[in-house]
Amino acid sequence: MTTTHSLINQLIQLQELVVANMQKKVSQPNARLDELTKSIKSLSEDVPQDIKAHFNRLLTKHPEAIVPVANELCSGCGMGLTTSMVQAVHLSNELNRCPNCARYLYYPEQLVERERVSRSYGEAKKTGISRFTSPELMMLPLKGTTGEEVLGEMCTRMQEEGFVADGAHLLDLSLQREAIISTAVDNGLAFPHVRGVEGGGLSMAVGISKKGVKFGGPGRTLTRIFFFVVIPTATSAFYLRLIAGLAKAFKDKDAREMLLQCKTEEELWKAVIKTTRKTFK
């Protein structure tokens, strides 16, 4: 059992590195990825060859090759699983695959579930970046002086506004993700995130640290603009397009300055809408 649990954790970490590699490519097209490539190779060396081959084949088709079971469903394709299959995944005596999409399955000890937010009848259809965020998820100023404090603030806000059920657990998951490789990129931007969060749509909080905080490896400039994204498995592919669009929009110094000069969260909301209007239709 321990061996299977270890293998599942190894595959989850490997998947995060592969996705981080894709994220770096879209957010920093000219970035050197040697260290990341080396980490992927090192982590995958002792994965059994048949599992590694299937894992890599899945990643050529989907952004996720191993996914959690959620409400007795494969969260990758949405297929209902038999009770015996769910129990087998929970026991983890062996590595199990979805009979429909062939993704590897695991049973998380605790899922972070986005609470469903009721929508008023006749509400205008959302467009652009407003499809993924809201005025309630604008945070200015962030008060934290460390990366963990900043992430804690953002996770708490997402819980308070009903976008996640457990902000403390969301923070734990985001810190685990940062421990694999930092989500900080150039120009004082960072894209912390937690993937595989079932129960709702892709949601993003935007936070501004006026003074900036150390968020990433040695030598990186202070991070001042944070885009924290909660990502259901079904939207993992779009997440990369979202990151690419944000990186493109805020590569422009004037766009970054527009956010940094905001004095209220209402101003920040308007600035985010304006600076992303051309990128997200």
**pLDDT tens-digit map of 119-142:** 333 345 678 999 999 999 999 999
Alpha-carbon span 95 to 210, nearest angstrom: 47
**Domain identity same for 77 and 27:** yes
- Counting residues of the chain whose pLDDT is more than 90, the rounded percentage is 51
The pLDDT tens digits for 146-172 are 999 999 999 999 999 988 888 998 999
Query: Is residue 116 assigned to a domain?
Result: no
Domain that holds residue 76: 2-106
Structural domain count of the chain: 2
Mean pLDDT of the chain: 86
Query: Is residue 254 assigned to a domain?
Result: yes
Residue type, 236: S
In this predicted structure, the answer to whether residue 64 has a pLDDT above a threshold of 90 is no
Query: Is residue 73 assigned to a domain?
Result: yes
In this predicted structure, the answer to whether residue 181 has a pLDDT above a threshold of 60 is yes
Last residue of a domain, one of 74, 106, 138: 106
Burial profile 195-218: b = 16 or more Cβ within 10 angstroms, e = fewer: bbbbbbebbbbbbbbeebbebbee
| Beta-carbon-side half-sphere exposure of residue 62 (alpha carbons within 13 Å) | 19
**Domain identity same for 156 and 266:** yes
Query: Is residue 173 assigned to a domain?
Result: yes
Write down the pLDDT at residue 234: 67
The pLDDT tens digits for 224-257 are 999 999 987 767 767 888 888 998 999 999 999 9
**Domain identity same for 257 and 135:** yes
Alpha-carbon span 279 to 281, nearest angstrom: 6
User: Which residue, 194, 252, 273, is CA-closest to 19?
Assistant: 194
The SS3 call for residue 148 is helix
